[in-house]
Amino acid sequence: MVFLYFLLTTILILASLILTVVHLGFRAPRNREKGNPGDIGMDFIQVEIPAISGKKLSGWLLAVENSTESIVIIHGWGGNAELMIPIAAPFYRSGINVLLVDARNHGNSESDSFSSMPRFAEDLGFSINWLKLHYPDRVNKIALLGHSVGAAAALLEASNRSDIDAVISVSAFAHPECMMRRYLKKLHIPGLIIQLIFRYIEWVIGHKFYAIAPLNTVCKISCPILLIHGKNDSTVPIEDARAILKQCPGSLISLLEIEGAGHDSVDQIEKHSHKLINFLSTSGFVAEYQPVYVNAVSKL
């Protein structure tokens, strides 16, 4: 009897510790913006975008005179809109309106109970709808761009809509379960416990991993997709991007592999900005590449 009591107590303590660790994992580090697009000579409007349950998202609208095309850009886990300015600048200089958004619990957006990739996608959806409502003359064509978790979110949101004309995915993982398994194995957590953690996370976020995995959502997207991935990415291996590319043969997916680039290598991606603009041009956008070099921020 004493042994049984000890065993149950131990199991409860371990379960409690595991759940605590899982929930801490949903708390993204908040890094607030210290600068803005005006620091590098780009005019912008500070905006507030209504989200779920009265929450508000913080964002910057970089409006180009007479432009009817827009791109909505979202950062990765623990990032913010400021860190995406180097990627946003070439689009703005090329005549495309840019909406930079902070996800909930990130940058200057309001807090919520937890963060997740589907919630990033929700915030993208709120941002797109807000742009269409308040600036209907600027959304003749809409593109999405996201980094890492934001990239997976952009693919997820695009898979659920018919009003997106192009998606640019930077450093997306192929499958959330595979990504987390790589991380948890480093902690030497037993396989059975890992499976229980996965099922619990699915319950918390309200989505099955297979349903939101980029590996599967890309096949539901009807517009062109450009995958961008650094060959030296140690956070999300280049093999993830190649797996996504192979998932839907004959689809409108292309892959740009960048030599010497890691997971957060803005400087390397910046050198290929003309390829991003050309991708939008071939996707039906009226965009003319204008060289620009932004060194104000060096990391995503």
pLDDT tens-digit readout, 119-145? 999 999 999 999 999 999 999 999 999
Q: Are the C-beta atoms of 221 and 155 separated by less than 8 Å? A: yes
Instruction: Give the end-to-end CA distance of the chain in Å, rounded to a whole number.
Output: 56
Q: Give the three-class secondary structure for 266.
A: helix
Q: Give the three-class secondary structure for 181.
A: helix
pLDDT tens-digit readout, 140-191? 999 999 999 999 999 999 999 999 999 999 999 999 988 888 877 777 777 7
Q: Are the C-beta atoms of 75 and 147 separated by less than 8 Å? A: yes
- Residue 250 tokens, joined: 């004959």
Q: Are the C-beta atoms of 259 and 231 separated by less than 8 Å? A: yes
| Residue corresponding to tokens 């308040």 | 134
What is the DSSP annotation of 94-127? TT-EEEEEPPTTSTTSPP-S---HHHHHHHHHHH
Q: Tell how far CA 279 is from the center of its chain.
A: 19
- Going along the chain from its start, the domains and CATH numbers come out as 2-282 (3.40.50.1820)
What pLDDT score does 20 carry? 55
Eight-state DSSP code of residue 197: H
pLDDT at residue 11 greater than cutoff 50: no
pTM score, whole prediction: 0.88
Which parts of the chain are beta strand (E)?
45-50, 56-62, 69-74, 97-101, 141-147, 166-170, 225-230, 253-258
